[in-house]
Amino acid sequence: MPTLTLLPSGKTIDAAAGATILQAVLAAGEAIPQKCDGKAECGSCHVFVHDGRKTLSKIQRLENEKLDTLVGVSSKSRLACQAVLGDEPVTVELLSFV
């Protein structure tokens, strides 16, 4: 079972392997923007992955296309609704801008 550490709070939650970051955050009762309900259409679930990037699913076309439209994207950017957790710990920074 991977752990997911949320920044800036530093809270660590247990997550199910195979869940998206978005699903894990919501299951833990934490808030995260998700205006399109996880369809990679809104970009509101944009996060920075600080650790564990290689354990996540690879970026697919839909996610890549949406990331290309967002402001403030970096090499650490992922859409929480598209990034599927593997077996290793992951640290993500929850962002408040879209």
Using CB under 6 A, count the residues that bind ligand FES: 13
Binding span for ligand FES by CB under 6 A among 8-16, 31-39, 50-58, 70-78: 31-39
Residue from 12, 14, 17, 35 binding ligand FES (CB under 6 A): 35
**Binding flag, residue 40, ligand FES (CB under 6 A):** yes
Binding span for ligand FES by CB under 6 A among 38-46, 48-56, 70-78, 85-93: 38-46
Please state, in angstroms and rounded to a whole number, the distance separating the CA atoms of residues 12 and 90.
Answer: 9
Please state, in angstroms and rounded to a whole number, the distance separating the CA atoms of residues 19 and 56.
Answer: 10
**Binding flag, residue 57, ligand FES (CB under 6 A):** no
- Measured between alpha carbons, how far is residue 67 from residues 3, 10, 51, 60, 88 in Å? 25, 25, 19, 11, 24
- The residues that touch ligand FES, with contacts defined as CB under 6 A, are 34-36, 38, 40-45, 66, 79, 81
